[in-house]
Amino acid sequence: MTQTTGVLTAPHTAEPVRAPRAGHAWRRGGLVLGVLTLACVLALSIAVGSRTIPLDTVWHVLWHDDGSAQADIVHQLRIPRTLLGLGVGAALGLAGALMQALTRNPLAEPGLLGVNLGASSGVVVAIAFLGLTSPSAYVWFAFGGAALTATAVFALGGSGRFPTPERQVLAGVSITAVLGALVWAVLVTNRGTFDRYRHWDVGSLADRDSDTLLRVAPFLIAGILLTLTLGGRLNALSMGDEAATALGAHPGRIRVLGVAAITLLCGAATAACGPIWFLGLAVPYIARLVTGPDHRWILAYAVVLGPVLLLGADVLGRVLTAPSELQVGIVTAFLGAPVFIALCRRRKLGAL
């Protein structure tokens, strides 16, 4: 992957940073505010649902599992679901931030660059050819698919003398198209697989067995930790390959580690919940508005903001169409697509 001076500008310089740069105090305050919001969203996610449970009751049964129906709901359904949302939200937020840093592309996002569909096609193979039925069993196949597509998109989108954000999106779209064709060929000739896949494909935190969380948790945690260690080196990379090398960083090594982390994060998140769009796009964008270009701060914010947005969307989906519910993947697409469109309208896009 050769980069030239044509693309040495980091994504954040293309985005006007609006927030006042009042140094660490401001960023720290924002992070505290984010954590408080996260606490509120966690509480809402446990309390709100097709059957709303008063907060004081939630608090009570949280500590005293008295065997009541409400305690069952909280312990069997809401807590695993909330924890899953916490992990997956953090993973997708970080994956987005990481992709944007590695590609220097403010439009990079696991959904748009096809990594989610790569994971999906792995899952289709698992369902159709191996007869696997539970998300916890999908995870390895999701990894395989995610890893293959991430590598292919980076190789294709990062090659050429002038890789631009738009071209990387197009590389994602074209690879997605080939994979999509294979997925559909399998699906429409196979009723049972289709039925299972269509429920998984919308992206949802509901109906995941509690095993799912335990199964994907190690990968999520490994991916999150790996990403957080990359923060400083991403800063070096954002100055361009030559400057990064001069600073003692190894651009190639950073990219390999980055793709590995993206694979862990997206593969695990997608295996657990299905493809979820636009979270990886919105989270780093919002983070950059507050933190400015420092990747260590962006990653810290992403860990907090990802779950806030995902769980917020999940709660919203439960409230909007109660007593049934709208899957979280649909809510994020409906909230995220307008953000994407607004972003594209604001960027000064040159001709192709």
List of residues contacting another protein (CB under 8 A): 107, 111-112, 156, 159-163, 166-167, 169-171, 173-182, 184-185, 187-189, 191, 194-195, 198-199, 201-202, 277-278, 326-327, 329-330, 333-334, 336-338, 340-341, 344-345, 349-352
Cβ at position 350, least distance to another protein in Å:
8
Cβ at position 327, least distance to another protein in Å:
7
Nearer to another protein, 30 or 111 (CB): 111
Task: Give helix 24-47 / helix 295-320 axis angle, nearest 10°.
Answer: 30
Residues near 106 by beta carbon (within 8 Å), at least 6 away in sequence:
11, 12, 14, 15, 100, 165, 285, 343, 347
Nearer to another protein, 178 or 239 (CB): 178
> b or e along 232-266 (b: 16 or more beta carbons within 10 Å of the residue's beta carbon)?
ebbbbbbebbeebeeeebebeebbebbbbbbbbbb
Nearer to another protein, 222 or 339 (CB): 339
Which helix (H) or strand (E) element contains residue 242? helix 241-246
Cβ at position 345, least distance to another protein in Å:
6
Nearer to another protein, 74 or 125 (CB): 125
Nearer to another protein, 188 or 246 (CB): 188
Task: Give helix 295-320 / helix 328-346 axis angle, nearest 10°.
Answer: 130
Cβ at position 265, least distance to another protein in Å:
20
Cβ at position 201, least distance to another protein in Å:
5
Based on its alpha-carbon atoms, the radius of gyration of the chain, rounded to whole angstroms, reads 20
